[in-house]
Structure 1
């Protein structure tokens, strides 16, 4: 992709304010000029009981660090998560592809150690971000690694700054720079919410929210005896607002499935540590979960209930 990279100047942005609740960076260091965060004032997020508060990259670099973990079932994937937990607490994935490394989703903390570690792994060809809750410091990441960052065109108004590095995704399906990774626009949580498909792995953030039942291991404690997952348990929930538990309606679920059904995948990777499902039937579990949600919202007779994988 041809564009002139913008300079990454840590000293210039180290004191810019960052929302402690969602991790979004604002292009100002003037605390008197910023009293609220538009991301957290939206019903899909929240302001904590303690009130709106801000920090900076300079402060975070003194108290937090990023941990890198190779994903055991597929060493092409490296998980990056901030410790101790900061803001929403999402993880990013560094995905090594034949065409270059793709970073799926973004975390706030960017420091010299993180940059050096990613450079050791081959740098970044592109960044793709699922939705505005994870926009965080994405412009600084894109500048630091001199790469494009893909975000949905519909969700651009949620960004806090403009950058030539931002690539606005307008199509339902977008190839990510010849890497073999495919951004798929599902919507739902946000109008432009994205998932990423690479080699049978679907990176879902919380566009599809992985549930505790979905992660269950169905065996008898102490014996290791395996059994089938009990019927009627979902694997995913589909929410307009995750923290405030506002569900998506059945027509939106049907629209999302009409897009997703065209793709094959055998694993899903959610927004947070541990939210990984390795199951050749996971696509079927997506539809089953959508239909469970539809049923309990009172739409047993909706045409969507007749959909099959």
Structure 2
């Protein structure tokens, strides 16, 4: 290890306060010290109509559990989802790689059953967090599994506590664990340092690229079982500065993101939530097509992005 390991103190961290809306943990049990969540106060997030409220990890663990769901087409990917839904409701994805297990994104709940389950599978070689909305309890995860946790250098200021386990990604592409085949790629957009991860043709996109209902829809057959083509003009993805507040990214930012992504090949995408998986050899083209649709409807039909090719 190139850093000093920090002890995992579950008894202390279980009483630290956690934002109910986004699941971010703050290193204090004193609710007079932290009265609001800086992540939810940001224009990309929100405070619900009921107002800002906090809980603790201990309270969450008493009423919730983590479910491990292998991905059918590729059992090397396992979704970890908290039931019932807590916070934003995102999944973490456990990647079984030749270089060790890597956790993509994070959920707040880290109970004894979760630690035991992952430990039985070989523990974690590293954690990679796509963006600050999913920082949750990532320091506790890194301490529990004695591994580094990677975040973009541009977004590190959103973290709620310092940690020697946190490593900052400065470059556009990083193989976080040598020999794993997992590359963290910085696309930006949603946050300046928003990441995707590429693992043997599978692109883990979180909210950096948002999967739409039309992207998940199946049009192979009609209601009578007759084969048909996917209707033209449908998007598969959207690109948002704020997902819950529906604020789209600008066209120049889309073009910059495509300038990075066009250099990579992938045959599937795996979004932030369970079931947000698209298996399609042509999915890269669908990303570009979706960018063009968003560009056109924002009034930029003559933008250079409209002429770009896969």
- Compute the TM-score of the two structures, normalised by the length of structure 1: 0.99
Structure 2 Cα separation of the partners of residues 3 and 279 of structure 1: 40
The secondary structure found in structure 2 opposite 1:274 is coil
Please state whether the residue corresponding to 1:142 is helix, strand or coil: helix
Does 1:307 pair with 2:308?
A: yes
Residue of structure 1 in register with 2:12 after alignment? 12
Instruction: State how 1:33-44 maps to structure 2 within 5 Å.
Output: 33-44=33-44
Aligned partners of 1:275, 1:223: CA distance in 2, in Å? 26
TM-superposed deviation, 1:28: 0.7
Q: Segments of 4+ in structure 1 off by > 3 A?
A: 219-224
Is structure 2 residue 215 aligned with structure 1 residue 199?
A: no
String of CA shifts for 1:130-150, please: whole Å, max 9, x gaps. 000000000000000000000
In structure 2, the residue matched to 1:128 is 128
Matched, 1:106 2:88: no
Offset of residue 222 of structure 1:
4.9
- SS, match of residue 133 in structure 2: helix
Which residue number corresponds to residue 53 of structure 2?
A: 53
In structure 2, C-alpha distance between the alignment counterparts of 1:52 and 1:199, rounded to whole Å: 41
Alpha-carbon contact 2:174-2:183 (below 8 Å) kept: yes
Which residues in structure 2 correspond to 1:103-252 (within 5 Å)? 103-178=103-178, 179-220=180-221, 222-252=223-253
* Cα distance in 2 between the residues matched to 1:211 and 1:240: 15
The Cα shift of 1:229 comes to 1.1
Q: CA deviation at 1:33?
A: 1.8
Residues paired across the two proteins, number = 309
The residue that corresponds to 1:290 in the other structure is 291
Whether the aligned pair in 1 keeps the contact of 2:92 and 2:107 (CA below 8 Å) is yes
> For 2:97 and 2:255, how far apart are their aligned partners in 1?
32
C-alpha displacement of 1:101: 0.4
Structure 2 gaps, min length 5? none
**Distance in 2, Cα, partners of 1:227 & 1:9:** 57
1:223 deviates by 3.7
For 1:121 and 1:77, locate their aligned partners in 2 and report how far apart those are by CA, in whole Å. Answer: 12
User: Residues 19-59 of structure 1: CA distance to partner in whole angstroms, max 9, x if unpaired?
Assistant: 00000000110012221000000010000000000011110
State the Cα distance separating 1:219 from its structure 2 match: 4.0
Q: What do you get for the CA RMSD once the two structures are aligned? A: 0.8
Give, in whole Å, the separation in 2 of the partners of 1:170 and 1:87.
Answer: 29
1:73 corresponds in structure 2 to 73
Higher alpha-carbon deviation: 243-252 or 32-41: 32-41
